[in-house]
């Protein structure tokens, strides 16, 4: 960022210090491009926000290639599959065997955000926390403006070449695009997830996705000593109705495997919260000199573990596109939205499919339950069906060196 007579100037103004905004700022810095990140929360809040935990192999590769994987490589837990549980049986889906060795890595979003903030600060990057009243303006000119009130209450204005809207689903950037130029596709689901973080070693070696007549449950983890578990609850459920004992009892019921000797270990709950479930895609992801990335443009229900991976895949495409744009070549910037939306729609379908296959729809009849069970039996008995789940879960299209491209016709 440069300051001339009090006026501030940067090449890329970035709204939001989530994974998308921070990684974009880093990828731009690697290309010698100057950026400023503005974030309305505190650094401590951003670093503690409990969210995702599963990284596709392509996301890990991106972080490694950009020099951000030191701690991830030491502390991340590589997983070669998941369990699908239904009808009181647990079945392993072996990603390595089905996809030619591909895996996912459990490494919490909180840790990625900590690593990204630390790296930006070491590299002299500019991240302004606790701003308010963020406004983006003059988006169709080649000098878009970023305005905000800083943490000390002073009004600031930055002249940019480009603005990146990385401000999540509730941000201000997407609504800055005229509504008549946006196509929105949206679905709300009639259930939420109650998630806990518990100070207890995981009771499983791989994540368990459980279909149950009382509702879906997921056993995930954060480390060898901390577990992350989720329960399907009603959409309007209040967390106050769920004391620890009730949460553990309900989890134990939904993961129960009679006669197997398997038992759910219980421990102190260190965090609990309820998250609604939604699919949402707003297109295009560009308006003039404003580019949207991550949750600002699209949301998936967490059942497919895709949201964070999509956010990072977007900025992997955006960084070289902005580099070219700033040198006067608009080609990649023009194809940015279409390039991202191919992956976004694949993940949107996969997340919808996992969600509707595994959750109990309130009021659903036996017909729906039997259809779900039939689909689940098919996935665990057909190599073709299991491969489809495995290649989507590990990330499709795969981000492998010089690998896959969507045909130009898409
Ligand atoms: P974020 O993380 O929401 O960051 C946006 C940032 O913008 C800030 N902001 C503003 N700043 C300045 N001015 C304004 N006017 C602003 N308005 C907002 C916000 O404070 C915030 O810091 O979006 P980003 O970077 O696009 O990242 C997306 C991911 O956070 C999200 O997709 C994932 O967490 C989704 N997700 C999962 N994704 C996965 O890939 N794998 C998973 O296993 C996974 N599990 C999950 C999840 C999300 C969950 N919740 C709570 C929604 C599990 C859960 C329970
Ligand atoms: C998580 O660990 O938070 C997690 C794992 C898998 C999902 C969603 C969330 O599908």
Paired sense of beta strands 298-299 and 290-292, if any: unpaired
Question: Using CA positions, which residue lies closest to atom 50 of ligand 1?
Answer: 51
Which ligand 1 atom sits nearest the alpha carbon of residue 109? Answer: 34
Catalytic residue among 209, 230, 287, 336: 209
Ligand 1 centroid – CA 20 distance (Å): 8
**Ligand 1 touching residue 51 (CB < 6 A):** yes
Ligand 1 centroid – CA 169 distance (Å): 8
Ligand 2 centroid – CA 49 distance (Å): 14
Is 396 marked active-site?
no
b/e burial code for range 305-325 (CB count within 10 A of at least 16 → b) = bbbbbbbbbbbbbbbebbbeb
Contact 161, 28 (CB under 8 A): no
Per-residue pLDDT reduced to its tens digit, 111-139: 999 999 999 999 999 999 999 999 999 99
Per-residue pLDDT reduced to its tens digit, 68-117: 999 999 999 999 999 999 999 999 999 999 999 999 999 999 999 999 99
**Ligand 1 touching residue 376 (CB < 6 A):** no
Tokens standing for 251?
């989890």
Question: Which residue's entry shows tokens 């919260």?
Answer: 273
Rg of the Cα trace of the chain?
22
- CA 396, CA 410: separation in Å to the nearest integer? 15
Q: Report the first-to-last Cα separation within the chain, whole angstroms.
A: 38
Ligand 2 centroid – CA 207 distance (Å): 8
- Residue among 388, 56, 299, 15 nearest 173 (CA): 15
Does the pTM exceed 0.75? yes
**pLDDT score, position 342:** 97
Paired sense of beta strands 207-210 and 81-86, if any: parallel
Per-residue pLDDT reduced to its tens digit, 295-319: 999 999 999 999 999 999 999 999 9
């Amino acid at each position: 960022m440069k300051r001339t007579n009090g006026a501030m100037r940067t090449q890329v103004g970035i709204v939001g210090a989530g994974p998308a905004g921070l990684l974009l700022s880093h990828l731009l810095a690697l290309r010698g491009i100057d950026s400023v990140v503005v974030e309305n929360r505190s650094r401590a809040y951003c670093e503690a926000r409990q969210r995702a935990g599963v990284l596709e192999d392509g996301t890990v590769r991106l972080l490694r290639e950009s020099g951000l994987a030191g701690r991830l490589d030491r502390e991340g837990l590589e997983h070669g599959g998941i369990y699908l549980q239904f009808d009181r049986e647990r079945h392993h889906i072996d990603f390595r065997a089905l996809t030619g060795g591909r895996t996912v890595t459990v490494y919490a979003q909180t840790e990625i955000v900590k690593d990204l903030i630390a790296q930006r600060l070491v590299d002299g990057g500019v991240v302004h926390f606790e701003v308010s009243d963020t406004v983006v303006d003059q988006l169709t000119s080649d000098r878009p403006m970023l305005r905000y009130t800083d943490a000390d209450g002073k009004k600031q204005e930055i002249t940019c070449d480009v603005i990146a809207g990385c401000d999540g689903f509730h941000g201000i950037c997407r609504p800055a695009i005229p509504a008549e130029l946006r196509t929105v596709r949206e679905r709300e689901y009639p259930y939420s997830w109650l998630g806990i973080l518990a100070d207890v070693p995981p009771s499983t070696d791989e994540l368990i996705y459980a279909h149950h007549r009382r509702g879906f449950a997921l056993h995930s983890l954060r480390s060898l000593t901390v577990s992350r578990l989720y329960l399907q609850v009603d959409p309007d459920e209040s967390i106050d109705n769920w004391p620890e004992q009730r949460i553990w009892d309900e989890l134990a019921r939904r993961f129960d495997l009679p006669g197997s000797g398997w038992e759910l270990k219980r421990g102190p709950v260190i965090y609990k919260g309820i998250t609604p479930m939604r699919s949402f895609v707003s297109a295009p992801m560009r308006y003039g000199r404003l580019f949207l990335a991550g949750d600002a443009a699209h949301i998936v229900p967490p059942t497919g573990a895709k949201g964070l991976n999509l956010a990072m895949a977007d900025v992997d495409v955006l960084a070289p596109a902005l580099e070219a744009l700033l040198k006067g070549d608009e080609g990649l910037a023009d194809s940015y939205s279409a390039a991202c939306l191919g992956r976004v729609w694949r993940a949107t379908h996969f997340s919808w499919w996992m969600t509707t296959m595994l959750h109990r729809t309130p009021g659903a009849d036996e017909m729906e339950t039997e259809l779900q069970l039939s689909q689940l039996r098919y996935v665990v008995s057909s190599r073709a069906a299991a491969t489809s789940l495995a290649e989507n879960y590990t990330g499709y299209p795969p981000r492998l060196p010089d690998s896959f491209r969507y045909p130009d016709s898409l």
